[in-house]
Amino acid sequence: MTAIDTKLPRLRMALPGPNAKQVIALDERHISPSYTRSYPLVARRGQGAMIEDVDGNVFLDFAAGIAVVATGHCHPKVVEAIQRQAAELIHISGTDFYYSQMIDLAEKLERVTPGREPKRVFYVNSGTEAIEAAMKLARYATGREKFIAFHGCFHGRTMGSLSLTASKAVQRKGFGSLISGVFHIPYPNPYRCPLSGQAHDCGDDCIAHLEKVVFKKLVDPADVAAIFVEPVQGEGGYVPAPPKFLRDLADICARHGILLVVDEVQSGMGRTGKWWACEHAGIEPDILCSAKGIASGMPLGAMIARASLMTWKPGAHASTFGGNPVCLAAALATFDLLEGGYIENARRVGEHLKDLMKGWPERFGIVGDVRGMGLMLGVEFVTDKKSREPAHDLRDRVVERAFHKGVLVLGAGENTLRLCPPLLVDEEQADFVVRAIEESITEVEGAA
């Protein structure tokens, strides 16, 4: 197969092309309608930050398979690791047998995960499974039953993690009772404080709400097993929590014997310019959940916990596929590439991107806020700057316009556009994307 010989988009026709139309028609007949496709991209192959569709159009991918392909599409070192491992041992199950790749990756993850205590790792196949494992371990280790999570949070869609998820009502509608004992509290969004409705760093308000309302009126802190938090809310709209808020939350957990579970499924593996987003606040979680970027697109997740918490007995929790040798080989190659320069690249190119975009709220009438860290950046759209009324449709139109310019981006939350490219993108690609989105915003503003 020939290489994709461009690092910028190259469109050959109006989208979608004829082959894409055919696939979409069949998809509509055969595939579950629960998926949320924003525009008609039908992928054929990927390389680095580029995606070629089934009609030969080439796109610049600033969505990365929902923040997954950390090292880009089909990085040669990742492909080589997968192929080598697949020829040797595809599966045997770490539940019943031993293989050294489980340890090799665990040692690396433990080394880069904050906290003075030794840690242990439990492998899964996805983000939601990492959260399920954390929920179970938190109950098992504390003997407590209740959980606290945040409005706007997304932790997955299986019944346990869905009980924490409070991102969009559609994700819960129709699924009946979820697990009981989950309390949701406001997440500090400095652009629109959920408690005051104003723009200010409202971390203190959210902490006061937890201590003065939730712990006083709803649940005794001594009954709470864990607080689950995304250091940067992902599906909720790419909202970084103020660092002091995270530190205060860690203090509250320590004071009440509550476990702090940091969900780094989207924000981890170098995306924010450090291994984990929680490092920006200097906190040490009791449990850290990872998935998405960990294996550059192979299905793998990890729950990393303080060793002294992992007291559960054989059979208490396990997974047939979790930590499959082929996924672990991809993760080991991914880890080396991230450590070898891609995390630093995410920090550098992320700063460059943010510099280019930071003036947008002044420049464009429909952009309310630009925020984020590293290559996890969000642009929030509003119909009115004063009332900060969310502009869901305008955001969607900007995302769609960008697609027609060859740039793949996704929405996050009600009205935010997210940029979460592979961590290897360069300044030229960043410049192109910024120009394409600026043009898209101008067009959408013009038509509004």
Ligand X SMILES: Cc1ncc(COP(=O)(O)O)c(C=O)c1O
Residue 156 interacting with ligand X (CB under 6 A): yes
**Window of 43-51, 122-130, 197-205, 279-287 that interacts with ligand X by CB under 6 A:** 122-130
Residue 230 interacting with ligand X (CB under 6 A): yes
| Contact map string, positions 282 to 311, toward ligand X, x by CB under 6 A | ---------x--------------------
- How far apart CA 365 and CA 49 sit, in angstroms, is 30
Residue closest to ligand X, measured at CB: 127
When the beta carbons of 50 and 249 are compared against ligand X, the nearer one is 249
H or E element, residue 301: strand 301-306
In sequence order, which residues have a C-beta less than 8 Å from that of residue 128 and are 6 or more positions away?
155, 156, 157, 158, 161
Sheet of 182-185, strands arranged across: 119-124, 301-306, 287-290, 259-263, 224-229, 146-150, 182-185
Token representation of residue 181: 């004992």
Residue 132 interacting with ligand X (CB under 6 A): no
Residue 265 interacting with ligand X (CB under 6 A): yes
Residue 128 interacting with ligand X (CB under 6 A): yes
CA atoms within a 13 Å half-sphere pointing along the CA-CB vector of 253: 26
- Residues contacting ligand X: total by CB under 6 A: 15
Q: How many Cβ atoms sit within 10 Å of the Cβ of residue 337? A: 21
Residue 127 interacting with ligand X (CB under 6 A): yes
Residue 235 interacting with ligand X (CB under 6 A): yes
When the beta carbons of 156 and 411 are compared against ligand X, the nearer one is 156
With the CA atoms of 237, 421, 26 and 21 taken in that order, what torsion angle do they form, in degrees rounded to the nearest 10? 110
Q: Give the footprint of ligand X on residues 50-69 (CB under 6 A).
A: 66
When the beta carbons of 58 and 109 are compared against ligand X, the nearer one is 109
| Exposed e or buried b per residue across 242-260, where buried means at least 16 C-beta atoms within 10 angstroms of its C-beta | beebbebbbebbeebebbb
Closest to 441 (Cα-Cα) out of 357, 350, 374: 357
Q: Is 226 helix (H, G, I), strand (E, B) or coil?
A: strand
**Window of 95-103, 191-199, 262-270, 364-372 that interacts with ligand X by CB under 6 A:** 262-270
**Window of 207-215, 258-266, 336-344, 419-427 that interacts with ligand X by CB under 6 A:** 258-266
Binding site for ligand X (CB under 6 A): 66, 126-128, 131, 154-156, 230, 234-235, 263, 265-266, 291
